[in-house]
Structure 1
Amino acid sequence: MKRLAHPDADVRARSLGLPRGRPVIALFSSGEPLTTELGAEVLPLLRRVVAGRDAVFITAGADVGVVHLLGVALEAVEGKLPSFVAVAPSGRVVTGEDKPADGEQALNPHHDAAVLVPGKNWGDETPALFRTVDAVTGKRGRVTALLIGGDAIARAQVTAHLSGDRPLVVVAGTGGLADEIARGTLSEDDDLAVLVRSGRVSAVHLDEGPERVVAALDQTLGTKPTPKLTVWPRLRYRAPEPVPIIDPGFVVEYPLLADAIHEANRVVAPAFHEVDETAHRERNHARLFIVLAIAAGAATISFGALQAWLATQAWPGVLVAVSGALAAALVALSRRYEATEDDLSAAHRAEALRTLYFDHLAAPLPVSDAEREARIQDLVNAVARHRHEPVTTS
């Protein structure tokens, strides 16, 4: 634990027991407890976010709300865990076994280090929080922020974060500031509205699942580079991580489409990723059998030349017959994956679902909740139809 002598004191990563240059995720949220329903949805998200991640999380430290759930999530996660640093005003948190007085809160015990800033009000720690971020990341480190809910303190922290041209991932559907940003309801004369519109902000709705939030974090941190194009097919095909149909930052740039994007991501996107993976798997199988058939054909030609050279030997002819039969069998197998109506069905279904996704975004905004519910039901029916009805290629 490090107690700063004054609010502007330097913070060094070594004094916190951390090496420099590690990626940092700053967690911004509200200092109020979450409802049971919201907490039940946020907890799986936090478990997935922290699992196996080599990063440093910097939080407000108080054992309440999202930070409390973060501690609960850590208890259920096995294997490698990230490091956690709390930055809080010394007059608002207590450490160890001391009992909090009125206006105080206990420090979450799952933090590896804590920076206590002289101050009696929440918000006094904000400058020190960003000095801590800079100390851990160093000159070449990567940093992003995760906003879940958020109050006035989080608003000031997000403003300072975006002012430094740092990326932000907003979890919509968690209330507070997160929903204001995702819905585009920030006041036009608010500096935060300008920073959100001009900054690198991604919004993912809580209903879209933890994987979407993790993908957005990985994208902003640059921890998962774009996979290289493969020349040769794979013997064991492994599906890559699903890529969002549209960039999560699109929600922030076009807030009027936020609800439609959320609906399409919740209803259409899972089905699209499923059939798109099937299409890629079929394509990989087709390429694999074609390559093997070409190799077997080349072997047949080589053995034929060997038979002509060794005219008095019988075994080259056996090799020619075996390799020729193998080539014929591989060609027959590869035809199972050729461009027939059945074999292209997955690709056609994927394109149909992609078209359905953008058609939903292009539709006029609903004028009532009843119309919105009717459109969602129509969307569900259309997804089911595209997934299960026969596909025609004519």
Structure 2
Amino acid sequence: METSKRGNWSTWYEFMFSCIGCMVGLGNIWRFPYVCYKNGGGAFLVPYFIFMFLCAMPLIFIELTYSQYSNLGPGKVWICCPLFKGIGFAMITLTCIVSLYYNVILAWTLFYLGNSFFPTIPWGNCNNDWNTPACYTRGSSVNDNTSLFSNSTTNVTYAALNSSTTVTSLYKPKPSTEEFWEYKVLELSDGIDDVGVVRWELLLCLFFAWLAVFLCLIKGIKTSGKVMYVAATIPYLFLIILLGRGLMLPGAVEGLKYYLIPRWEDLKKFSVWGDAAVQMFYSAGLGWGGIATLASYNNFNNNVYRDAMIIPVIDILTSWFAGMVIFVTLGFMAHEANVHIGTVVKDGPGIAFMVYPEALSKMPLPQLWSILFFFMLFTVGLDSQVGFQKSLSA
């Protein structure tokens, strides 16, 4: 059954790549690693995999089935049972809210992308006007950083990376990547009472992010389906390259052990299971309407059971693989700082914007790899955002 008004996918591959693009996004490469790190690494993988197989697969099958059968998007499909109309409205509302902050993350990636063109990677050193006297780069000694304190009359805290020496101060030592994230990208204020000013650089990046979404959707699925061939495959190429480079760094094996070997006692914590369930819904995009919208453009006889098996498995493997890239870098960072991997960085949404840049700055031609990586990260978020916008208009 086809509809000339809404159109259908030209091939099954366009649908599959669009689903991969919609489901595999920043939730896998950005959110999954920091949630995993927060919950102790390997222990988090066990409940996450369990929830993906027991919950995600059946729910994805349901979303694919009712949308493909009706050839309607989430806003209209519940016409079959008016009592459930609120579900469709809730899915659209949720997608609208998520889309707003999702593009903010895309703006951050564009900001990093723009800074990657500088002759010197700005997050790779402490010689910038936003750096504090306690800034350091991993792998350097105290003597390499003494010049940072020469013009300061304030006592400074600096813990030597390769010794037990500590100088008491007002500043907490932070690596250059963390200071770039907090003081240059976000320009964190002292508190909620200080809202700061509008960052014109980020505002411009946000505009270009929305412009890219508009251009991808300007002619409906006929253009977006073709875009997904590239947008859904580029991330895997660069993740493989980054993993290969990361495995060559000292301490990478320890990072993999922390990630892949569960500490079974952590499974007794309710927070680990709770975060795994939340991440499963976030990563799989359940209830948001994106997958349902894409399925509504399928031909009536498409093998929906096959698709419901393939899509979650790809999502799981992508999250798992992206986590490996993050944790080999965390292992290197812990090795350089001579600390336990569980304390090498603060957990939080900024971890991907501190760990990945750290790895990029250690690679030959860091500007080139930074440009390619953040362009890849932008395409990852873009294809998910395109899926969200489709569900709003379906």
Same fold per superposition (TM over 0.5): no
The structure showing larger relative contact order (alpha-carbon pairs under 8 Å, at least 6 residues apart) is 2
Larger Rg, first or second structure (1 or 2): 1
More helix by share: 2
TM range (shorter): under 0.3
TM-score (norm 2): 0.18
TM-score (norm 1): 0.18
More strand by share: 1
